[in-house]
Amino acid sequence: MTRSNSYPTDLSELINLFDFEQMAASKMTRMAYEYVASGAADEVTLRWNREAFDNIKLNTTVLNDVTKLDTSLSLFGKELAHPILIAPTAFHRLMHSEAEAATAKGAGLASATYVVSSFTTTPLEEIAEIATQPLWFQLYVRDDRAYTKDLIQKAESLGYQALCVTVDTPTPGIRDRQARVGFALPEDVIAHYSLGEIGAPKNPITWKDIEWLQSFTKIPVILKGILNHEDAVKAVQTNVDGIIVSNHGARNLDTVPSTIEVLPRIADKVNQQIPILLDGGIRRGTDVMKAIALGAKAVLVGKPICYGLACGGADGVAKVIQILKDELLLAMILTGKTSLASIDRSVIWE
């Protein structure tokens, strides 16, 4: 048995995203929990991803008309109901027997865009059949570039609406906690598009590969894993459609800065030429607001989705997104902002 979520969870007990983590720890196998929860090495960046949000103070304003609130946005030519996306995370079958199918259903219930990982344990076709909200495909460029091209074209033909190319993982990070539990995939957890390729690529991608992808890809290309503002400038010069400021949930190189800390500098350099998204440590609606105020158009959530899945399958995933959205609405009311476009630096107490 790879998971222990056979008995139902009363989701009404789970009030915030931290509750989900606590509950998930008791629902998942030790190996699965350590896989999801751990960060690289000493987990310094993992702590900073949270502390940096906590250290940003918000600025309220009173007596504003906040009767009509709008969390919608337009991203890559599509209308989204709210700015909270499901980040790509691997191996959902470790967390729930319905795996990525449950995540897609949860995304549907919560009107959220779902970025499906290259390490999905459910075929892309099955997820596409179940999804009622936009799907994006997260790509790890494999050593076999012909296979990579086929995979992209498959995702496109199935209706995946954007290609999210992960650029921050030429080698996997040091994960002491995973090593301690001897992390290995159970036999029934099969990553369909990565057989034999889990580990460091022999031929990691470069900017030239991004140009190669762009030469045939028909959907927007987004680079996931930008932390350095000079890389952000190169991304703009390479004509990608968007970037995701991410430190891979603090799982790759320990002691890199938190994502919210690097966001303002990147936003300044990108100067609104392409949309910036951000992930890493988003656990509260106020974090979503802070990310938007400092230059992100939308955010993605990783670990809490895995915990939602472990606690309650599709309903758990949906509840995680719903809590964040409700908390964002509350933060909008209390800062006098009725739309995402109006959330600017004035909400940050400086």
Ligand X SMILES: Cc1cc2nc3c(=O)[nH]c(=O)nc-3n(C[C@H](O)[C@H](O)[C@H](O)COP(=O)(O)O)c2cc1C
The verdict on 248 binding ligand X (CB under 6 A) reads yes
**Closer residue to ligand X in complex, CB, 35/160:** 35
* Other CB atoms within 10 Å distance of the CB of residue 26: 12
* 331 closest CA partner among 263, 277, 284: 284
CA dihedral sign of residues 306, 121, 46, 269: negative
Dist CA 88 CA 139 (whole Å): 9
Among 14, 84, 85, 87, binds ligand X (CB under 6 A): 87
Task: With contacts defined by CB under 6 A, name the span among 8-16, 198-206, 297-305, 340-348 that binds ligand X.
Answer: 297-305
The verdict on 303 binding ligand X (CB under 6 A) reads yes
Site string for ligand X, 119-158 (x = CB under 6 A): x------------------x--------------------
**Closer residue to ligand X in complex, CB, 34/315:** 34
**Closer residue to ligand X in complex, CB, 20/35:** 35
Among 113, 133, 148, 246, binds ligand X (CB under 6 A): 246
Among 75, 155, 185, 306, binds ligand X (CB under 6 A): 306
Dist CA 308 CA 311 (whole Å): 5
Helix axes 303-335, 285-293, angle to 10 degrees: 70
Q: b/e for 147-161, b at 16 or more Cβ within 10 A?
A: ebeebbeebbebebb
In the bound complex, what is the minimum distance in angstroms from residue 64's beta carbon to ligand X? 31
Dist CA 19 CA 9 (whole Å): 12
Task: With contacts defined by CB under 6 A, name the span among 20-28, 71-79, 84-92, 262-270 that binds ligand X.
Answer: 84-92
Task: With contacts defined by CB under 6 A, name the span among 116-124, 152-160, 308-316, 332-340 that binds ligand X.
Answer: 116-124
Among 83, 88, 295, 312, binds ligand X (CB under 6 A): 88
**Residue written as tokens 């495909």?**
137
Structural contact between residues 83 and 340, judged by C-beta atoms closer than 8 angstroms: yes
Q: By Cβ distance, which residue is nearest to ligand X?
A: 302
The verdict on 280 binding ligand X (CB under 6 A) reads yes
**Closer residue to ligand X in complex, CB, 19/70:** 19
Task: With contacts defined by CB under 6 A, name the span among 9-17, 98-106, 115-123, 178-186 that binds ligand X.
Answer: 115-123
221: phi then psi, degrees, rounded to nearest 5: -105, 125
- Which residues lie below 8 Å from residue 26, measured CB to CB, with a gap of 6+? none
**Closer residue to ligand X in complex, CB, 205/337:** 205
Task: With contacts defined by CB under 6 A, name the span among 62-70, 87-95, 179-187, 261-269 that binds ligand X.
Answer: 87-95
- Which residues lie below 8 Å from residue 256, measured CB to CB, with a gap of 6+? 45, 227, 247, 250
Dist CA 104 CA 220 (whole Å): 21
* Other CB atoms within 10 Å distance of the CB of residue 7: 6
**Closer residue to ligand X in complex, CB, 9/49:** 49
The yes-or-no answer on residue 248 being catalytic is: yes
Neighbouring C-alpha atoms within 13 Å toward the C-beta of 338: 8
The verdict on 167 binding ligand X (CB under 6 A) reads no
Interface residues with ligand X (CB under 6 A) are 35-36, 49, 87-90, 117-119, 138, 166, 224, 246, 248-249, 251, 279-282, 301-303, 306
Please identify every residue annotated as catalytic: 248
